[in-house]
Amino acid sequence: MKKQMGLYVHVPFCSSKCYYCDFLSANNLQMADSYVETLLSELKFYATQIQTEITTIFIGGGTPTVLPPLLLHKIVDCIQTNFKLSQNLEWSIEANPATITPEHLKIIQNSKINRVSIGLQSTHNHLLTKLGRIHTFNDWENTIASLVDIGIKHINTDVMFALPDQTIDEWEETLQTIVSYNIDHVSAYALIVEDGTPFATQKLNLPTDEQDREMYEIAKSVLRQNGFMQYEISNWAKPNGECRHNILYWTLEPYIGAGLGASGYLNKVRYTNTPNLKQYISGQNIIEEKTQITQQMSIEEFLFLGLRMTQGVSKREFYNKFGQHIDTQLAKCNIDGVFVQNGDKVALSDYGINISNKVFSMFI
């Protein structure tokens, strides 16, 4: 099988921070020019070190489309000019319906970008306002139409459930609405109120755990009925619409991480860049942490990342990689009914998926 190599590029800027967001982002766009110059230097450095063809690229954030078009063009051009790119390249970029402009669309159209991931979260504007989103559902509709017009065939939409004051009917309506558009991938996440976010300081009217699980089951049902197959705990795709870049993460393939706070995995070493914007822009000591991945760490990651996928993990592949039988590791989880075995594959059962965080914690 052809060797895989991914590239993740982080653009940390946002117009404003959503109330639930704990991702590494900033709204001081006056630093964007300096940031991009350092990012270009970092990308050029990795291009001289990595001779393997890049098979997947993901430009994430933050919000990459909040960058002035000239700066986004510089990043895209730098990648296309300096890296060896696979003929079968998957190149994704995240976009916000409120910030993507005709100039951004032109850059996408004239590049090798072939997949766009759009944050929607809900089709109900009152819920978008509660989340601190800066776009409307109509903005999302217009963005989808624009992407289809320029020939983008792979479009993901992020949606969220278990939101403050969200009803089960509203969640089902969101799902039934989005599947009628030209998208081939849906990522559906339950809201998690993280420390340090505005939501953490508010008294929120959140669904119960039972309603949360009911919403998840509705997602599985509605998406399946509309031709989206679940291939990971939070991800559904039409045939050939799976995000190959994320699969690369989940199968422990190597990838370059460039940009503020980005992580990479090269030659059995995981590294993470500084999360300090001024430190990053200085170009000095960009990498804050390096970890040599031991065999035991690889085993743990193989299991808790591989078991996120509905196809599960291969017993034969586990033995070939680590020289031991997978049952020894699975025995660490002493909860009945969380695994299903089908020939060579071991996967989480529906019950296992519902308590997946607890299951994964037993492998670490």
Where residue 143 sits, what CATH number does that domain have? 3.80.30.20
Are 193 and 325 part of one and the same domain?
no
Peptide bond into 62 cis (omega under 30): yes
Q: Is the pLDDT of residue 363 over 90?
A: no
Are 241 and 301 part of one and the same domain?
no
Rounded average pLDDT over 273-284: 95
d(CA 137, CA 178): 10
Q: Please report the pLDDT score of residue 10 as a whole number.
A: 97
Residue type at position 101:
T
Residue 48 lies in a domain: yes
Are 109 and 33 part of one and the same domain?
yes
Phi then psi dihedrals of residue 7, to 5 deg:
-135, 120
Tens digit of each residue's pLDDT (9 = 90 or more) over 284-294: 999 999 999 99
Rounded average pLDDT over 18-35: 71
Q: Which residue has the higher pLDDT, 30 or 48?
A: 48
d(CA 118, CA 157): 5
Radius of gyration of the chain from its Cα atoms, rounded to whole angstroms: 21
Of 197, 245, 273, nearest to 60 by C-alpha is 245
Phi then psi dihedrals of residue 251, to 5 deg:
-110, 15
Rounded average pLDDT over 209-228: 94
Q: Encoding tokens for residue 13?
A: 């800027």
Number of compact structural domains in the chain: 2
Q: Which residue has the higher pLDDT, 131 or 360?
A: 360
Contact 219, 168 (CB under 8 A): no
Tens digit of each residue's pLDDT (9 = 90 or more) over 256-266: 999 999 999 99
- Confidence at 194, pLDDT banded by 50, 70, 90: low
Q: Are strands 269-273 and 263-266 parallel, antiparallel or unpaired?
A: antiparallel
Are 154 and 35 part of one and the same domain?
yes
Are 187 and 50 part of one and the same domain?
yes
- Confidence at 134, pLDDT banded by 50, 70, 90: confident
- Confidence at 21, pLDDT banded by 50, 70, 90: low
Tens digit of each residue's pLDDT (9 = 90 or more) over 61-85: 889 999 999 999 999 999 999 999 9
Q: What is the DSSP letter of 66?
A: G
Are 162 and 241 part of one and the same domain?
yes
Of 83, 85, 98, nearest to 258 by C-alpha is 83
Task: Give the H/E segment covering residue 154.
Answer: strand 154-161
d(CA 269, CA 293): 6
DSSP H helices, 83-226, are 102-109, 125-131, 137-149, 168-178, 209-225
End-to-end Cα separation, the chain, in angstroms: 30
Could you tell me the residue range of the domain that residue 125 belongs to? 6-249
Q: Is the pLDDT of residue 43 over 60?
A: yes
Are 229 and 318 part of one and the same domain?
no
Residues in the chain: 364
Last residue of a domain, one of 214, 249, 284: 249
d(CA 286, CA 273): 5
- The mean pLDDT of the chain is 92
Residue 319 lies in a domain: yes
- Confidence at 24, pLDDT banded by 50, 70, 90: low
Tens digit of each residue's pLDDT (9 = 90 or more) over 141-177: 999 999 999 999 999 999 999 888 889 999 999 999 9
**pTM of structure:** 0.93
Q: Please report the pLDDT score of residue 1 as a whole number.
A: 53
Are 53 and 197 part of one and the same domain?
yes
Are 97 and 231 part of one and the same domain?
yes
Q: Is the pLDDT of residue 36 over 60?
A: yes
Burial 331-351 (b: 16+ CB within 10 A, else e): eebeeeebbeeeeebbbbeee
Query: Domain with 350 in it: what CATH number?
Result: 1.10.10
Are 323 and 244 part of one and the same domain?
no
**Cα 249 versus chain centre, distance:** 10
CA atoms within 13 A on the CB side of 46: 26
Q: Please report the pLDDT score of residue 135 as a whole number.
A: 83
Are 160 and 104 part of one and the same domain?
yes
